[in-house]
Amino acid sequence: MSQTSVQKLSSPDTATHLDVELRKVFKVFNGETAVRGVDLDIHRGEFFSILGPSGCGKTTTLRLMAGFDMPSAGEVLIQGQSMNNVPPYRRPVNTVFQSYALFKHLSVWENIAFGLRIKKLSGAEIEARVKEALKLVKMESFANRFPNQMSGGQQQRVALARALVNRPAVVLLDEPLGALDLKLRKEMQVELSNLHQDLGLTFVMVTHDQEEALSLSDRIAVMRGGKIEQIGTPTEIYERPKTPFVADFIGDTNLFQGRIESSDSTSIQIVTGNGLKLFVQPIDSVDLGGKGTEVVVSVRPEKIHLSLYAPTVETNTFEGRLAHVMYLGTHVNYVVELATGDRLTVRQPNTVGSLPDLNTPIYAHWAAIDCLALRE
């Protein structure tokens, strides 16, 4: 191991408000580029999620922060200090894995104390910190149990306690709830959010679960092909995606390809290849180009209204028939086939007693403010 890699870290830069910074970071494996020039600033105390499909580079990005991989180019900084030649055990971070990575032959207490023993802390210090960590995750009564004597949710809490006991500046979460069933996953999301608020630490989570990222995060980075497609708050990412990929990946949406026919200060008229005339309210900060520009229109399913009778508004109103009805308890999903052959997915809350029959003639309509035009 080089002398550089075991250097003693200087004191963290407490003046900076950033806990993690990536500066034009690349990572290449056997000639394949997994991360392509990523720039990222993660604020102190933030719950930041990295979201994207399989193979997009999100886990590699987390591993670069943790030190399990080193960048091929660029720089990783934690609390203002360069981490490029610093091994994982010397970084002020701890990682919680989807697999929990608990030692099966050690009790809960010994699993949590393991890292502290490696650091050669005193017995009294170890005991105090393990007790504190167990209390944080509400696992005091499980101290003498072994991993195979606990449920998945309980093991996840132990994994969190083991990460927190080292008092890291940053907690890295690699698909932390991915192995849990749906009900327990929802419960652990609430606990994770409460824990983050109580501790005030910086959490960086990698996940492919869109709902999880939207519900837990202060900000989200959406990755695609090793690059960051968009960074924003959950509301910005969902309501104002900057690209068709983000609109399609985050939640459900209806996408229509077309060309700008005309525009003024109040609306943009877009005509699709099938002849649908769509009206979109312009956004001052977005330049879509002039007449003839190819764009994609995104309409979220919950923004669309259905009516058995022709509504009084004419813009973004289309006649069709019900092609599919799916009852989902809290809401109902409809598929409406328009006269042009286009299909709309519509989501409405379950407030009606009976569902309409298939092939029922129906009108679908939405406001210009409830759809978004995006450049290809």
Q: What is the pLDDT of residues 197-211, one digit of tens each?
A: 888 899 999 998 898
In terms of average pLDDT, the best of 31-40, 100-109, 320-329 is 31-40
Average pLDDT of the segment spanning 65-69 = 95
Is the pLDDT score of 7 beyond 70? no
Q: What is the pLDDT of residues 47-57, one digit of tens each?
A: 999 999 999 99
Among 258, 293, 249, residue whose Cα is nearest residue 278:
258
Q: How confident is the model at residue 285 (pLDDT cuts 50, 70, 90)?
A: low
What domains can be seen in the chain, in order of their start residue?
4-244 (3.40.50.300), 252-375 (2.40.50.140)
Residue 229 has a pLDDT of 96
Share of the chain above pLDDT 90, in %: 55
d(CA 25, CA 236): 25
Helix, strand or coil, per DSSP, at residue 231: strand
d(CA 258, CA 296): 6
Is the pLDDT score of 164 beyond 70? yes
Average pLDDT of the segment spanning 264-273 = 88
pTM of this prediction? 0.86
Residue 353 has a pLDDT of 65
Q: How confident is the model at residue 123 (pLDDT cuts 50, 70, 90)?
A: confident
Q: What is the pLDDT of residues 169-207, one digit of tens each?
A: 999 998 887 767 778 788 888 888 888 888 889 999 999
Q: How confident is the model at residue 146 (pLDDT cuts 50, 70, 90)?
A: very high
Is the pLDDT score of 363 beyond 60? yes
Residue 292 has a pLDDT of 83
- Residue 274: C-alpha distances to residues 262, 314, 331, 339, 342 (Å): 17, 18, 30, 10, 8
Is the pLDDT score of 13 beyond 60? no
Average pLDDT, the chain: 88
Residue 4 has a pLDDT of 35
Among 197, 176, 179, 210, residue whose Cα is nearest residue 51:
210
Is the pLDDT score of 355 beyond 90? no
d(CA 264, CA 302): 27
Q: 152-164 vs 123-136: helix axis angle to the nearest 10?
A: 130
Residue 269 has a pLDDT of 93
Q: How confident is the model at residue 11 (pLDDT cuts 50, 70, 90)?
A: very low
d(CA 94, CA 74): 22
Is the pLDDT score of 3 beyond 70? no
Q: What is the pLDDT of residues 196-253, one digit of tens each?
A: 888 889 999 999 889 899 999 999 999 999 999 999 999 999 999 999 999 999 989 9
The b-or-e profile of 82-96 (16+ CB within 10 A means b, else e) is: ebeebeeeebbbbbb
Residue 249 has a pLDDT of 93
Residue 181 has a pLDDT of 78
Residue 302 has a pLDDT of 95
Paired residues of 351 in beta bridges:
none
Q: How far apart are the first and last CA of the chain?
A: 48
Q: How confident is the model at residue 2 (pLDDT cuts 50, 70, 90)?
A: very low
Residue 10 has a pLDDT of 40
Residue 271 has a pLDDT of 94
Residue 299 has a pLDDT of 96
Q: How confident is the model at residue 154 (pLDDT cuts 50, 70, 90)?
A: confident
